[in-house]
Amino acid sequence: QAEAEAAVAAAKEAFPAWAATPRAGRARILHAIADGVEKRLEDLAGVETADNGALLRSHRRGVMPRVAHNFRFFADRLLELDHESFLTRGHTNHVTWDPAGPCVLITPWNAPLMLATWKVAPALAAGNTVILKPAEWSPLTASLLADIAADAGLPPGVLNVVQGYGAEAGAALVSHPDVRRISFTGSVPTARRIAQAAAAHLTPLSLELGGKSPLLVFDDADLDLAVDLAVEQYDNAGQVCLAATRLLVHSAIAEEFTRRFAERASALVRGDPRDEATDVGPNIHPRQLEKIHGFVRRAVAAGARAVVGGGPDTDLGGLHYQPTLLTGVTQDSEIVQEEVFGPVLTLQTFDTEDEAVALANGTRFGLAATVATGDRERAERVAARLVAGTVWINCFFVRDLRAPFGGSRQSGIGREGGTWSFDFYCDLKNAVTAPEGWTRHG
């Protein structure tokens, strides 16, 4: 708690000067941070893999370059940011984004640095100071980011990293009266506690809370593409909030789809995440592995059948779980309704478009959805009916920082990305000026 309070005090003290820094000056430092990330890319990739077990090749080729891009994108977006002035009965309206103040950013363990910088970059670009609390299971790259930011010339107190447990450091941060924004990515139960703490001071929140996303495969889909999309959901050992863990397949192609899927899934290389050949690495923690296996055990006991996998990968040690596909599940079952956050997918069948949409929307979540179909009109029709913040059609995980990101229902509150990030991290102001009659008094 003492460290949390010290970090907020430092952020509060540094805020006026950073908020007053011209946009070009803030953008220049964000680009310098991106330069620092690129210079230390190999180091960051190796540390992240050692810390959370995700594939080293992914960190090298995709994740860490995206970390640098996060800073560059919001630096450039800041310089482009402007509302058009508009007239009201001759009066000019001019809308601006004003920095809000110290921001608390709480990030998860599945993509630690990438998801942290997704929040840090726009918050800093907007002129705010930041207190970042990374997940206790994956703390290391957040501290390295603080070093990189300091080397890039970010003034003291503008970016503060607080390590600790949520019940201690996190609770002290989200309940602090000097915090002006809270952004959290994580579980629904934790989000409820954060929202209750923030309510005391009416601190605005942005919450991204995971999901139970569907992949709808219609009988006119390219079956090879659909299987590729489904197998891709095992990325990061299934520890991806956006993963389409519920496969909804038209009954006419379900048997062939399942056969091809099982063939592809069994060919995935499981092993050390530092090995370039590995496709599926370990889960992050023994507690997480036991949680995953608990879901599978209960599902099988309730009548589900594991047609792929179904248990820990004991040959690889205590953190690996076999890529698993369960059939024979019901819509109201725990395995269909609750987020597992591991390499476990379920398969259900449907006969009509209406049935597919009903199954897809039949959970309390609404983060994302994926649709595989060869019919453009069906794709547009189904996408319009799905409850999801993002819908991918015949593709998956295509992300553009200009687009809004967030979830519906219990997948979250608010949207970030592009201008939506600045809308959240700023106080919007409208200045209205009379058309004529400027007078000088005194």
Catalytically active residues are: 208, 241
* Buried-state track 28-39, b at ≥16 Cβ within 10 A, e below 16: ebbbbbbbbbbe
Taking a C-beta distance cutoff of 8 angstroms, is the pair 208, 411 a contact?
Answer: yes
Give the H or E element holding residue 406: none
C-alpha span between 92 and 270 (Å, rounded): 62
Taking a C-beta distance cutoff of 8 angstroms, is the pair 176, 61 a contact?
Answer: no
Residue 132 — φ and ψ, nearest 5°? Answer: -100, 125
Measured CA distances, 154 to 4, 121, 159, 186, 261 (Å)? 20, 12, 8, 28, 49
List the one residue out of 96, 5, 55 whose CA is nearest residue 281: 55
C-alpha span between 4 and 106 (Å, rounded): 12
In the chain, the amino acid numbered 184 is F
Question: In the chain, what's the furthest Cα-to-Cα distance?
Answer: 86
**Hey, which bits of 147-273 come out as E strands?**
159-161, 181-185, 205-208, 214-217, 246-250
Task: Write the DSSP assignment of 330-380 as a string of letters.
Answer: -TTSHHHHS---SSEEEEEEESSHHHHHHHHT-SS--SEEEEE-S-HHHHH
In the chain, the amino acid numbered 62 is G
Residue 381 — φ and ψ, nearest 5°? Answer: -65, -45
How far from chain centre, in Å, is Cα 159? Answer: 21
Taking a C-beta distance cutoff of 8 angstroms, is the pair 176, 5 a contact?
Answer: yes
Taking a C-beta distance cutoff of 8 angstroms, is the pair 424, 407 a contact?
Answer: no
